[in-house]
A and B are shown apart, each in its own frame.
Chain A
Amino acid sequence: MSTDLLNLNLRVWRQAGPNDKGGFRTYRLNGVSTHMSFLEMLDVLNEQLIAQKEEPVEFDHDCREGICGMCSLMINGQAHGPDNATTTCQLHMRRFKDGDTVTIEPWRAAAFPVLRDLVVDRSAFDRIIAEGGFVSVNTGNAPDGNAILVPGVRQEVAMDGAACIGCGACVAACKNASAMLFVSAKVSQLAILPQGHPERSARVINMVAQMDKEGFGSCTNTSECEAACPAEVSVAHIARLNREYLRASIFAET
């Protein structure tokens, strides 16, 4: 493995707080190893800023292995950057060229207000899940796993939706800031599995209602969300959500 070093211009969104107007600042960062992850590159930028007594850039991150859904960032206008099926923390600097100017912004969506710099508040997703993104099983009442058989093939289709990490890239990538891919991943996976059937009507109606209430936009089937999704959740789940919604609206049991 050879190590190449890049010299980069970074255009970074700086915003002191939720009510600040914010703006771009440009920083020069030299000697960036191509083996670094994108967030490690930001760590190095922050070390440089701290040394110059400038406040470091705030950004969300946690697991740094692509599974927690905390990292975000619009990188050159693309959610999680240029690679397919990749979170920002898994994006590596070998994807960039020496002399590149890299523009780094927070998720842009009214429902995800900026807290500071590149950090946004994604609690709207929590409130949507609270409206039905679960199966109601009480502690002590869970049936044995083998009591309800789930064909392996069916399980795999549901699992494709369950792979969603809740990062919000689908919203950030959408021109309408629609949350349909996120919501549909949950609605669809639970509609496929027998465990999710008893609550399927109420679930889809309530979760969609909460999604609208949070101020997410409408879906126009552009599929930018699927292209940006680090977990490769398919828009087929959106189709299934729409079927579930129609079914629930016409044949609602509740």
Chain B
Amino acid sequence: MFRSREYGGTLANRSFGGAQVSRTFYCRGQTGQQLLLGAYQAMMRQVSTGKVKLFARREMLELVIVDGLARGIVVRNLATGQLETHTADAVVLATGGYGNVYYLSTMAKGSNVTAAWRCARKGALFANPCYTQIHPTCIPVTGDYQSKLTLMSESLRNDGRVWVPSTKGDRRAPDQIPDTERDYYLERRYPSYGNLAPRDISSRAAKERCDAGHGVGDSGLAVFLDFRDAIQRDGEDVVRKKYGNLFHMYNKITAEDPYKQPMRIFPAVHYTMGGLWVDYNLMSNIPGLYVLGEANFSDHGANRLGASALMQGLSDGYFVIPYTIGDHLATTKLEKVLEDHPACLQARKDADDRITKLMGVQGKRSVDSFHRELGLLLWDKCGMARNRSGLEQVIGQIRELRDEYWKDVRVLGSGASLNQSLEKAGRVADFMEFAELLAIDALNREESCGGHFREEYQTSDGEAARNDADYSYVAAWEFQSGGAEPVLHKEPLVFENVKPSTRSYK
């Protein structure tokens, strides 16, 4: 895979949020993309040797459990609408995070919680759903048609300086505002880390300034990320070499030139630390069901730092699963399961019934309109800052919206062909159930910790206040059918050598 190199040929590295040393390998401003392409190419090599069989355009709709073991999945062929059953000795989910429950996020539009939630409904525990990461450097929302938020790479904060006008409602063009009237609030509040303060802290600081009336742009929900000083210091060519593609992308979206005027940025949902509960072998509480990557809850605790999703990809996919799945296969008696096994037929019928039910509502509102509404509810009450009364209120609102969804959603066309509305309808139905669990978890956790900030629990200077005595546990939730409250299972966090402390970025 590609990595930027020094002139002498060794790997280049740079600094990232939450770190004060340059220790992160990178590839221009598209590290994640090159990782993806590298992984894709390695996979296609296995496809060519016949070790991997690829089923593109398929979506998992049900997990098949036989004698308590995960033994297969039911998928829908998105190109033809046909349901397919695949039986197996074990199931490995690597289906990503649930950030799109907020509708607007930096995730790809197709990302969803369905595969994980279908497993949760069959008994897999869902852990720490309230830990959601809000990334500080995204392009702000421009209108209610907005479909997606674009991340400006965190690497920009190596050279960009974040500021807002010191005077509330200052509408002058940024280059007309002298340095003495600018508030470089990250450098002011966190002098040692400055613009490279961690994501959650930077995001909350931006929200705090905007809430106080210092935000910029049409909506007042944005702050400046300014490269003026870096360009003066290093020259435009050096800045272009490092960030050219990001500046280009910003220019495409906003029609503004970040070489000449500062970028406007605002926080957006970017990553979800919560996910299906797994043990050290990455197996969920359903034997034979393994969960890897963002889909599980492990590795990042309450907050993920820059570049560490790669670390999880390596540890889960490279160091752990190749060794642990063999143990399950070797030590478990696995009778042959065929597609006509009653459990397979039942799972397939469940998936089919659900499609029929969604198609049958024939209401008035589009799937997207419901999804937007759900996302706004969560963003307002369970986004960057949360409190008890807001969470209690939003749980009720989510339930009402879910009831309305099943009475009034409109899915046109047929289930037996390519139908993107139907695909979205199934995902949003699951988001509607999952959103409630997210809010319940946020309500239960009466402390501020990582990506979860409860306004009632903060220090006098507005920093997160943890409560290790009462909440030093993983909250693993067990789904209950029939609309009953989920059951909380606490997995205590035991620290034998290193004691939890509060890291100061000041």
Contacts and interface: CB of A to CB of B under 8 A. Distances in A.
Given A55-B412, A159-B28, A67 B33 contact: yes
Interface string A149-188: 1111101001100110100000000000000000000000
Interface string B1-32: 01111111111100000000000010110100
Contact of A130 (B47, B110, B150, B419): B47
Contacts of A66: 249, 252
B310 interface: no
Contact of B143 (A36, A139, A149, A162): A36
A43 interface: yes
Interface string B24-64: 01011010011001001110110110000010100000000
A130 B146 contact: no
A152 B9 contact: yes
Interface residues of B, number: 61
A17 B420 contact: no
Contacts of B369: 47
B447 to A, nearest CB: 34
Interface string A24-68: 000000000101110110011011001101111010011111111
B5 A139 contact: no
A65 B56 contact: no
Contact of A39 (B25, B147, B368, B421): B147
Interface centre among B10, B142, B254 (most CB of A within 10 A): B142
Interface residues of A, number: 64
A235 B421 CA distance: 39
Contacts of A119: 418
A1 interface: yes
B280 interface: no
B322 A139 contact: yes
Nearest to A153: B7
Given A65-B148, A134-B42, A139 B318 contact: yes
A129 interface: yes
Contacts of A90: 249, 252-253
A70 B323 CA distance: 34
A121 B28 contact: no
Contacts of A35: 142-143
Contacts of A33: 142-143, 145
A145 B12 CA distance: 10
Given A40-B146, A123-B56, A162-B37, A56 B420 contact: yes
B410 interface: yes
Contacts of A86: 252
A43 B2 contact: no
Where chain B touches its partner, the secondary structure class is loop
A47 B368 contact: yes
A152 B48 contact: no
A158 B7 contact: no
B30 A64 contact: no
A134 B45 contact: yes
Given A47-B368, A94-B255, A134-B44, A67 B5 contact: no
Interface in B401-440: 410, 412-413, 417-421
Contacts of B47: 126, 130
A62 to B, nearest CB: 4
A3 B142 CA distance: 10
A135 B110 CA distance: 29
Contact of B218 (A1, A63, A126, A137): A1
Given A92-B252, A130-B44, A159-B28, A150 B9 contact: yes
Nearest to B369: A47
Contacts of A150: 5, 9
Interface string A107-135: 00000000110010101001001110111
A40 B145 contact: yes
A220 interface: no
B255 A92 contact: yes
B145 A36 contact: yes
A145 B1 CA distance: 10
A134 B46 CA distance: 10
Contact of A162 (B34, B368, B412): B34
B410 A50 contact: yes
A131 B44 CA distance: 8
Contacts of B252: 66, 83, 86, 90-92
A54 B5 CA distance: 53
Contacts of A6: none
A19 B412 CA distance: 21
B145 A43 contact: yes
B366 interface: yes
Given A58-B418, A152-B9, A162-B34, A64 B108 contact: yes
B364 to A, nearest CB: 8
B9 A130 contact: no
A159 B412 contact: no
A63 B2 contact: no
Interface of A: 1, 3, 16-17, 33, 35-37, 39-40, 43-44, 46-47, 50-51, 53-56, 58, 61-68, 83, 85-86, 90-92, 94, 115-116, 119, 121, 123, 126, 129-131, 133-137, 139, 145-146, 149-153, 155, 158-159, 162-163, 165
16 contacts: A1-B217, A16-B417, A33-B143, A40-B147, A43-B147, A63-B109, A64-B109, A67-B30, A68-B108, A90-B249, A90-B252, A126-B44, A126-B54, A133-B41, A146-B10, A155-B3
The 4 closest A-B pairs by CB, nearest first: A149-B9, A134-B41, A130-B48, A64-B148
Interface of B: 2-12, 25, 27-28, 30, 33-34, 37, 40-42, 44-45, 47-48, 54, 56, 79, 106, 108-110, 142-143, 145-148, 150-151, 217-218, 248-249, 252-255, 318, 322, 366, 368-369, 410, 412-413, 417-421
Given A66-B249, A86-B252, A152-B9, 9 more contacts: A1-B217, A1-B218, A43-B145, A58-B418, A65-B148, A134-B42, A149-B9, A155-B2, A159-B2
